[in-house]
Structure 1
Amino acid sequence: MTQRKRPSNTLRLSQSKRQSNSVMTQEEDEDVTFTQPSSSQVQRGLEKLTPAQVDQKTAEVVQYILVKDQKKIPVRRAELVKNIVKDYRTVYPEIIKRAKRIFEQVFGLKLVEIDPKNHMYILVNNLDTPAAAASPVKCPSNPKTGLLFVILSVIFMKGGIVRENQIWNTLKKLRVDPGQRHEEFGDVRKVVTEEFVRQRYLEYTRIPHTEPIEYEFRWGHRADMEVSKAQILEFMGQLHEQDPRSWSQQYREAHTGSSSSQNASSSQTSSHASTSRK
């Protein structure tokens, strides 16, 4: 009796990626059909609604974004309009404006559009304190945050772009093997290439013209906004029992607010973003 072959990991990954891309494409198509209302359209829309109705819809938007933020998942304008705003889309700009005000005044958070092209929002800390102190990722307070810090540190120390195998080799030295199920993290490779990427802490991009196919990592939009490079350098100093100033180039970048290498990386990423894993 012939047994049916189980699909390989590569095939399953390819199928999963196609499904993910299909959902993304559908959301993008829905967003294309949504035209940002003009100020006059918004005003006419507000005249047809009571203040209580607009406040209620704003509260629903705030709640939706807060729930998404618990898993650090960016929110697309398309899903907000489709799932929450619905028939109130003519006053969408007013709803978002009020939501931003609530996040700032009530929660001390800032609603930021990290991807103006695809209209994606995240919440970041809005406290008026130095960047290192205000960072939502203050220190490796739990194992998964520690894992993220290690990866961000490697990318920062290597100039902003790191090949995938360098990340895996570093983790193996720390006894975190991406090929084995970890007691704390579970599927390490999935956490790094899917969860951290979906949360926009990392960008995971295919390197063109490589055979076999290779990928590279960069800091994601959320990491740029939430994680202080000075803090990362301090973390490296503690890890290696070394004065952070001994890494002179990185120290200058971390303490002058220079992010030219990260900006350059982001611009390179946009040129072949379609090859990124989601």
Structure 2
Amino acid sequence: MTQRKRLSQGKAASAPRRSETLMGEEEDDDIPFTQPSTSQVQKGLEKLTPAQVDQKTAEVVQYFLMKDQKKIPVRRADLVKHVVKEYRNIYPEIMKRTARTFEQVFGLKLVEIDFKNHVYILINKLETLEGAPVRSPSNPKMGLLFVILSVIFMKGGAVKETLVWNTLKKLRVDPGEKHEEFGDVKRLVTDEFVRQRYLEYVRIPHTEPLEHEFRWGQRAELEVSKIKILEFMGELHDRDPQSWSQQYKEATTPSSSSQPSTSSQR
């Protein structure tokens, strides 16, 4: 074996797989997938028993619930490859039943947040813009997230990361130190919250040294009420929420972009 061949094989062995993704999980090459037509779905259903379809739907439901424990978005390519498998010709029917199960049994809504890459998340139907919004953080991590989202919203929708870190330091949460409750704070904010789609962590072009800024992510737009954030800030500063006129207008104006369709039709 030549030295060049040994080197190339060594590089291949040490090369990372496609595992460093926004989804936070391993992803193999996507399976080519074409959405089945209505007639194709009907023909596929005719070859299966109701019990088989129910079983596959249950498997898809479990897969979503497993991912939702860590708030990990689900890609259609992964779903088809690892769960749906040979039932892909009735994929629309399975997704329709899955969405119905989440709504009727769990009180959750299955939402497609990325139509290009077909990425789905589960949101609490009682905490969306259509129902009673989130009133208060449910755990310490969500409390930290709530503070960051508040800073971003009050500053116009995008803030440099230095402002976020300085704000957290005032709360005795130093991103440069390991926190007793949050562990690695910087990793929690820039990795975990980003993978969960609560935050966007975006490079600011033409900056030297390199700088980033934070924005609200797609999940936050769906789950977190801006008017509640404004009320929270009003209580904090003893001010009427309406005194922040620009933010109040944004918080009370319905946004069509905040209403992605459910996945049952995709």
Contact 2:72 2:195 in 1 (8 A): yes
| Residue type at the aligned position of 1:255 | T
Segment of structure 1 superposing worse, 185-194 or 208-217: 208-217
Unaligned runs of 5+ in 1: 1-14, 264-278
**Equivalence for 2:4:** none
Of structures 1 and 2, the one with the larger relative CO (CA 8 A, separation 6+) is: 2
**Equivalence for 1:48:** 47
Q: CA deviation at 1:245?
A: 2.1
Once residues 67 and 185 of structure 2 are traced to their aligned partners in structure 1, the CA distance between those partners, rounded to angstroms, is 22
Runs of 4+ in 1 over 3 A off after TM superposition: 15-19, 21-29, 129-133
Q: How does 1:221-232 map to 2 (within 5 A)?
A: 221-232=218-229
The percentage of aligned residue pairs carrying the same residue is 71
Higher helix proportion (structure 1 or 2): 1
Contact 2:22 2:194 in 1 (8 A): no
Contact 2:125 2:131 in 1 (8 A): no
Tell me the matched-pair count: 245
| Residue type at the aligned position of 2:167 | T
Q: Deviations over 1:162-203 (max 9, x none)?
A: 111111111111111100111110100000001100110001
Q: How does 1:176-195 map to 2 (within 5 A)?
A: 176-195=173-192
The equivalent position to 1:162 in structure 2, one of 159, 163, 168, is: 159
Shift in alpha-carbon separation, 1:146–1:78, aligned structure 2, 3 A? same
**Equivalence for 1:91:** 90
Contact 2:18 2:26 in 1 (8 A): no
**Equivalence for 1:242:** 239
**Equivalence for 2:9:** none
Once residues 22 and 227 of structure 1 are traced to their aligned partners in structure 2, the CA distance between those partners, rounded to angstroms, is 21
**Equivalence for 2:12:** none
Shift in alpha-carbon separation, 1:130–1:62, aligned structure 2, 3 A? closer
| Residue type at the aligned position of 2:135 | K
Unaligned runs of 5+ in 2: 1-14, 260-266
Q: Deviations over 1:182-232 (max 9, x none)?
A: 111010000000110011000111112222211111100000000000011
**Equivalence for 2:33:** 34
| Residue type at the aligned position of 1:120 | V
TM-score after normalising by structure 2? 0.84
Q: CA deviation at 1:257?
A: 2.8
